[in-house]
Structure 1
Amino acid sequence: MKNRRLRNHERREIQREILSILGLPHRPRPFSPGKQASSAPLFMLDLYNAMANEENPDETEYSVRASLAGETRGGRKGYPASPNGYPRGIQLSRTAPLTTQSPPLASLHDTNFLNDADMVMSFVNLVERDKDFSHQRRHYKEFRFDLTQIPHGEAVTAAEFRIYKDRSNSRFENETIKISIYQIIKEYTNRDADLFLLDTRKAEALDVGWLVFDITVTSNHWVINPQNNLGLQLCAETGDGRSINVKSAGLVGRHGPQSKQPFMVAFFKASEVLLRSVRAANKRKNQNRNKSSSHQDSSRVSSVGDYNTSEQKQACKKHELYVSFRDLGWQDWIIAPEGYAAFYCDGECSFPLNAHMNATNHAIVQTLVHLMFPDHVPKPCCAPTKLNAISVLYFDDSSNVILKKYRNMVVRSCGCH
C-alpha cells in the first residue's frame, strides 16, 4: 500500500481520537525543558523502562545514560529521542531509604508499586525557602507541589518525596544526621507552623544518594482536600537534637544540579466508578461506529459464490500498523515512545476455518450456517483475539511528568469471531 501525507483535517481528527483514548481533554503544552535533563523525568524514564520491559521484554529500552551525556537523535537535547537508541539493562537499586545512584534509578520498591498502578505522576517543587537560624526558630526547607492536575477518580496507592544528599559539611564528619519530613497543617505569621511528622531517615555525614520519604497518607489527603495542601517542611538534626542548616547537612536544593533536584512522585489507580464510566463511554462510542458502518456492511451481502473468490483473498491475519506520535507533531510533550506498533486484523474468515485462524466455536457454527443461508447470516469477522497494553510517558501543562498504562492498544493475535 502506497503511503500518502495526511491532510490537515485528517490529522486533526486522528489527534482528537487518540487524545480521547489517552484520556486527555486537549493537547498538553508544557514549558520548554532545559538543556540538562532534570531528576523527575529521569526517574520517570526508569519507571517507563521497567514497565515497557514488562510489556515487551524484547523491546530496546530508552537510554538515560545517553540523555545525561547530552546526546540527541532527532529530539530535544537532554531527553532520549529514539526507542531504538542506546540499549541499556534496567538497573534496580536495593530497597533502602538511601539509594546511591544519580540520576535516581527506580528501585525494586518502586517497580513493585507499578504492578498496582495505572498511572504514575511526578511533581516539581514550586516553592522552596531557606529559613535563617535563630534561638526561637530552627533550620528547615519548604516544598510545595501542585496536585490539582490529577485526573478525577484516581486514588493514590503510594507517594514519595525524594531529595538528594551529598556529603555533609566537614564539621559534621562523625555525626549521624536525622532528616525529617513534616506536613504543614497550619501557618502563622508570628510563630512556627503546626506540623505533622510524616517520615524520618538517618544518614551518615559521608553518605551520598537519594533519600526517599513516604508521604502516601498526606498525598491522599491533599487530593481529596486541595485547600489543605500547604506543602512539606524538611529539617535536619544532629544525634543530640541540634537543628542544623539543611544545606550543611548535604541536602541539595534549587541551586544544585538539575539531575539532583528534589521532587515528588505518586502512584495512582483508577477507582471502579471511573472504570465503569470509561467502559460505558467506550461502549456508546463503539455502538455509534457500528451504526455508521452497518450501511456499508449491508451493501456487501455474501453469496455462495463468494467462497470461490475468497480463496484468492488473504485469510484472517495480523497486519502492520504503526502509530507515530512524531508524525502527529507531539514530540514536544510525549517523552516516550516516539510511536508504537498497533497492528490490525484483516482477511477472510471462509470455510473451512483452519487452526491458525484462531476461530471461536461460535465462528465455526456461523460459517456453516452462512453456507446454507448466505443472504441472512454474514461470515464471521476477522478481529483481535489478544491485545496488549502500552505505556506512554508525557508532560502535562504544568510540566509534571506522567507515566500512564493504556490497556488493549496493541494487537497480539487475530482470529475469526
Structure 2
Amino acid sequence: MESFSQLLPSFYQEKTSESSTTKLLPGENYKKVQIQAYAKRKLQNKILQEDSASSTPSPTRSTEMLPVIVFFLMPMVGLGNPRPSFNHLRKPFTVEGESEEVRSAAIKRLLEVFGMEDPPATPPRSHKQPPQYMLDLYNTVADVDGVTKDPTVLEGNTVRSFFDKLRSDQIEYLFNLTTVARSEKLLTAELHLFKLRPQASLTFNRHHFCQVNVYQVLDTSKMNISHNKKLVSSRLIPIHSNGWEVFTISQAIRTWTMSHHSNLGLLVTVRTLSGNQMDLRTVRFASGQNHHHTKQPMLVLFTDDGRRAAPMEGIVKVSGDSPAVPSLPLPSLTLPVVGHRIPRSLDYEEDRERLPCQRLPLYVDFEEIGWSGWIVSPRGYNAYHCKGSCPFPLGQNMRPTNHATVQSIINALKLTKGIETPCCVPDKLFSINLLYFDDDENVVLKQYDDMVAGSCGCH
C-alpha cells in the first residue's frame, strides 16, 4: 500500500518537507483542515477499493490499518508549528511590572514636558492651604479637568504667589523670589494686602480717605531716610472699608528677579491727604503673624517662561459648527488610568484599527504617577488620543488637509509604490492648567500648551 505521505497532494508534500525551516502562518489553518479532509478521503477510498477487489476480506485488515490511521491522523492535528499563544497580552500592564530604569526615564521625560527637572521635594503633610485668590484664578481660567476655558484671560503662562517671610507687626514685607528664573519675563507684579476695619473707638475719624505708599527698601539700617527707599506704588483708599487692596509694584520686582541680593523687602506707609502720618490703629493691614492665614500679605507675579508650542502648520482651520471627527463617549468618566491596560483580544485590536479616525479617551492620573502630593488641581485630566483608519475617499468629517487628500488618492490608485494612507492624528490641541506647590511651598498656576487632543483628522 502507498505510504500516507504519497497520498497527499504534491504542494503539501513540498510544504511538509520544509517543515523544519518554514513556519505555517496562523492564516493557513483553513488550508490545513482542507488538506486533512482530502487525505482522509483518499485513504478511505483506497481501503474500500482494496476490500472490494478481494472476495474474502482479510480478517486482519481493519485491525492492521487502525493503528496506522491513528498514528498518522494524530500528528496532523498539530502539523506545523503550533499557533502562538497570546495569553501574555491578556495580562494587565502595571507600572510595577516595568523596570525601575524605564519608570525613571518615563517620569523624567514627563517632568520635562511640564518644564521641571525634578518634582517638588515638599512633603505633602507640610502643605498649607492654597490662597483663595489662586483657587479662584484657577477656576476662572480652567474647567474641572484643567483645560483652558479662554486662552486670552492670562497674558502670560505662569502665575506665582508668595507669602510674607518677615511676619512682622510693622508694615514691612519680605518675599523670597529665588524660585523665579531669570529667563522668566515679568509682566505684572501685585502686592495684595488685606485691610482691616478701623478700631471702634476711632470710627468717627474726620478723614474719609488715606494715601497708602509702597516703597522698595534700599537700605534696611535707615529706612526713615528718603534716599534709602524708593516709591514704587501709591493709592488712595477709603478709611472705613475693609477687604483686599492691590498695589502694582512691577518695577521693584524686576530689579529683584535680576539680582536676588537687592531684595531687601517692602515698606508701606499711610498718610492723610495733607501728607501727615496717620495713626496705624486707624488704617490697619492684616499680618501673617497675628491674623488668619487667609488674610496674609501676598505677592502675585504674572510671568511668561517663553515656552510656546510649535505651530501646527498645514492644519485646516475649522469653524465651531463644522463637522468634527466623532469621539467615543466617556461612560460615567470611568477611564483607565495611565499604567493600566484593559485586557483585549487581538481581534478587538484589529477591529478598532478598521474603525474610522476618531478621538478616544486617554486619562492621565497624577496620583498613579505619584504627583498627587504637590499638585493641587486637577487630580488628572483626559489627554485623549487619535486612532483609526483614513480610508479612501476622505470625507469632510475626517477633516483632511489637501495634502492628505492627494496622498489618499495616490495610495488608492497605486500610482507610486510605498505610499501609505494618511494618518489619524490630532488637528486641534488645547492647553491645560496646573495649580501646584513649588519647592518653597509657594502656590503656582502654570499653563501648558498642546496637552489635550481637541479633535482628530486625517493628515
TM-score where L is the length of structure 1? 0.69
Question: Does 1:376 pair with 2:376?
Answer: no
Shift of 1:385: 0.6
Q: Which runs of 5+ in 1 are unaligned?
A: 54-58, 63-89, 91-110, 131-139, 281-308
Match of 2:295 in 1: 260
Question: Does 1:6 pair with 2:95?
Answer: yes
Shift of 1:17: 2.1
- Partner of 1:186, secondary structure, is coil
Report the Cα distance in structure 1 between the residues aligned to 2:214 and 2:221, rounded to whole angstroms: 19
Match of 1:20 in 2: 112
Q: Which moved more, 1:334-343 or 1:185-194?
A: 185-194
- Aligned with 1:45 (options 116, 124, 135): 135
Q: Which runs of 5+ in 2 are unaligned?
A: 1-89, 312-349
Report the Cα distance in structure 2 between the residues aligned to 1:314 and 1:44, rounded to whole angstroms: 43
Match of 1:401 in 2: 443
The answer (yes or no) to whether the contact 2:95–2:103 under 8 Å persists in 1 is yes
Report the Cα distance in structure 2 between the residues aligned to 1:239 and 1:381, rounded to whole angstroms: 69
Shift of 1:225: 2.3
Q: Percent identity?
A: 30
Structure with more of its chain in helix, by fraction: 2
Match of 2:382 in 1: 341
Query: What is the correspondence of 1:183-262 to structure 2 with a 5 Å cutoff?
Result: 183-188=216-221, 192=225, 194-244=228-278, 246=280, 249-254=283-288, 255-262=290-297
Shift of 1:203: 3.1
Report the Cα distance in structure 2 between the residues aligned to 1:211 and 1:395, rounded to whole angstroms: 24
Report the Cα distance in structure 1 between the residues aligned to 2:248 and 2:154, rounded to whole angstroms: 18
Shift of 1:4: 3.9
Query: What is the correspondence of 1:39-188 to structure 2 with a 5 Å cutoff?
Result: 41-53=131-143, 59=144, 114-130=153-169, 140-173=170-203, 174=205, 175=207, 176-188=209-221
- Name the count of aligned residue pairs: 322
The answer (yes or no) to whether the contact 1:168–1:250 under 8 Å persists in 2 is yes
- Render the CA deviation track for 1:141-188: whole Å, top value 9, x for unaligned: 221112221134211111100010111123432233332211112232
Amino acid at match of 1:127: L
Report the Cα distance in structure 1 between the residues aligned to 2:221 and 2:382, rounded to whole angstroms: 55
Match of 1:302 in 2: none
Shift of 1:358: 1.2
The answer (yes or no) to whether the contact 2:426–2:454 under 8 Å persists in 1 is yes
Report the Cα distance in structure 2 between the residues aligned to 1:228 and 1:264, rounded to whole angstroms: 17
- Render the CA deviation track for 1:37-86: whole Å, top value 9, x for unaligned: 35xx3211111111115xxxxx5899xxxxxxxxxxxxxxxxxxxxxxxx
The answer (yes or no) to whether the contact 1:382–1:416 under 8 Å persists in 2 is yes
Amino acid at match of 2:180: I
Shift of 1:15: 2.3
Report the Cα distance in structure 2 between the residues aligned to 1:365 and 1:240, rounded to whole angstroms: 77
The answer (yes or no) to whether the contact 2:353–2:389 under 8 Å persists in 1 is no
Match of 1:136 in 2: none
Report the Cα distance in structure 1 between the residues aligned to 2:242 and 2:272, rounded to whole angstroms: 17
The answer (yes or no) to whether the contact 1:320–1:344 under 8 Å persists in 2 is yes
- Partner of 2:371, secondary structure, is coil
The answer (yes or no) to whether the contact 2:361–2:385 under 8 Å persists in 1 is yes
Report the Cα distance in structure 1 between the residues aligned to 2:375 and 2:453, rounded to whole angstroms: 22
Shift of 1:206: 2.4
CA RMSD of aligned residues (A): 3.1
Q: Which moved more, 1:387-396 or 1:151-160?
A: 151-160
